Structure 1
Amino acid sequence: MTTAPAARSNAPSVTTWRWVAAVLAVSQLVASPVSRAVNGEFLKSGATNQALITPAGYAFSLWGLITLLSSVTAVAIVRYGLGSPWETDALIDASVVFVGFSVWLTVAAQDWLWASVVVFIVMAAALAHIMWLLVRHREELTCPRWLAVLATVSFGLYLGWSSIAVFANVTAALIAAGWSASGAGWQLAVLLAASLTAVVATVLLRGTPGYVAGVLWALVAIAIGASQRDSAMLSMTAVVAAVAVAAVAVWQQVRARTR
């Protein structure tokens, strides 16, 4: 007798957050061109582009796919819903991420690099929670299967790229604070920390393809970027890290299918 009223009282909250997340997701598509029009191509200069482990320039085009996929996903959720007991929590996290994207564009354009680090940490934490729910509690979803796959791929790709971006932004902030942009030793330590984090997350998220794709895109771009800056050691480290992540992902997928 108490289940139905509880569900009815919760429904408006879920519906509201679906719309909030959808509007904020679509706003990302506007935020990027507006930022470029106002601030120019700020990511191509300054400490953000000086590090040896800065991804090759082409890699940043992934933002276009990420923001498009997350917008399509959010709009689809408005129509169908995820149908899980934790849907509102996931939508709140998603809203934080979408706002974070626009905030990051603003603070990065002003060279507020430590603020940029904080924004990415918040975004990555929210995305990690969403992915934990989508991967570890998938059986609680009642939405169409294609939507579950779309959401997992979209937010996984977002997390994969953003989690590596945390370390890239830390590197830029340290360079701006006076650390050597050509110092391979300390940047190797940052790259190893990023790689270890990626391997652990790949295990926890059971090698889900979206996340792995985002990480591999970032690591390969770092390998190319380091090579372009004549750092063979860092380039090879990034390649080895990418191979390790891919191998762990395959192992997780095989393990899941043999259970």
Structure 2
Amino acid sequence: MTRTSGTPRTNSPSVRPWRRVLVVLAVSQLVAPVVVSALAGDFLESGATNEALITPAGYAFSLWGVITLLCATTSLAVWRFGLGPSWETSLLVDASVVFVGFSLWLAVAAQDWLWATVAVFAVMVGALAHIMLLLVRHRSDLSCPPWLATLATVTFGLYLGWSSIAVFANVAAALIDSGVSPDAVPWQLVVLVAAAGFAVLLTVTLRGTVGYAAGVLWALVAIAIGAAQRDSVLLAATAAVAAVIVAGATAWSRRVS
């Protein structure tokens, strides 16, 4: 549970500027896709980005809109109320890195620098994982309103869940761009199993938090549908089984935590 009394809300000079920075960067995530698309066209619809058999079905990418809107809402709420703990500045710095990373990812993807997109996503996933560890494992430090604690956990959990699978999809795209066959199943099976294993590890580490599980399940189901649309029964079945395992790990982690 979050505290509503006890530890005072952090309002030190060092944390207040980061709250304002976070709002600006959160809004930039809403603007960046429009700007990059105007300059580079609909670059995500072609090339190696969409050639892998384990590319999520097209509808799945609409989740980015939900995530960026939640980030803007959460950032405004943090600016207004603050989170409270001594580690708030650390969380806000990590979140700022993530928000900058989103715009940078779009920029490098528009240039077809696909290994660079992998590097950007890896940094984003690392920062998001640290944010979620703070929010989940040190929740009792929070002195903000309970609804804000829940909003922040859901927002960054959803962001991490989707991104922790997307980084592997970007690896697949980068390998294809480097000359690996987009129709070969074995190597894509390895990438998919690695993504699922990483997701299960984070699910347990984050105690089955719902936001993270939702982001992962959205991605895995979309991969199953995308693989089926490309007539890869094995990869579709593997993604579906992975989704069931993640759902089971989520239920188990919530029961024992």
Range class of TM-score, shorter chain: over 0.9
Matches within 5 A, 1:9-24: 11-24=12-25
Which residue in 2 is equivalent to 1:180?
A: 181
Which residue in 2 is equivalent to 1:134?
A: 135
Matches within 5 A, 1:14-163: 14-163=15-164
Cα distance in structure 2, aligned partners of 1:151 and 1:88: 14
Cα distance in structure 2, aligned partners of 1:214 and 1:111: 25
Which residue in 1 is equivalent to 2:210?
A: 209
Cα distance in structure 2, aligned partners of 1:33 and 1:216: 27
Which residue in 2 is equivalent to 1:4?
A: none
Cα distance in structure 1, aligned partners of 2:65 and 2:97: 19
Q: Deviations over 1:49-91 (max 9, x none)?
A: 0000000001001000000001100110000000011000000
In the TM superposition, residue 255 of structure 1 has moved relative to its aligned partner by: 1.8
Q: Gaps spanning 5+ residues in structure 2: where?
A: 1-7
Matches within 5 A, 1:243-258: 243-256=244-257
Cα distance in structure 1, aligned partners of 2:41 and 2:81: 38
**TM-score between both structures, scaled by the size of structure 1:** 0.95
The CA RMSD over aligned residues, in Å, is 1.3
Q: Deviations over 1:202-225 (max 9, x none)?
A: 000000000000000000000000
**TM-score between both structures, scaled by the size of structure 2:** 0.95
In the TM superposition, residue 41 of structure 1 has moved relative to its aligned partner by: 1.5
Structure 1 counterpart of 2:70, one-letter code: L
Cα distance in structure 2, aligned partners of 1:128 and 1:71: 19
Which residue in 1 is equivalent to 2:5?
A: none
| Residues paired across the two proteins, number | 250
Runs ≥4 residues deviating over 3 A: none
Structure 2 counterpart of 1:15, one-letter code: R
Cα distance in structure 1, aligned partners of 2:88 and 2:23: 14
In the TM superposition, residue 10 of structure 1 has moved relative to its aligned partner by: 7.4
In the TM superposition, residue 171 of structure 1 has moved relative to its aligned partner by: 0.4
Bigger helix share: 1
Question: What SS does the aligned partner of 2:13 have?
Answer: helix
Q: Gaps spanning 5+ residues in structure 1: where?
A: 1-6
Structure 1 counterpart of 2:189, one-letter code: L
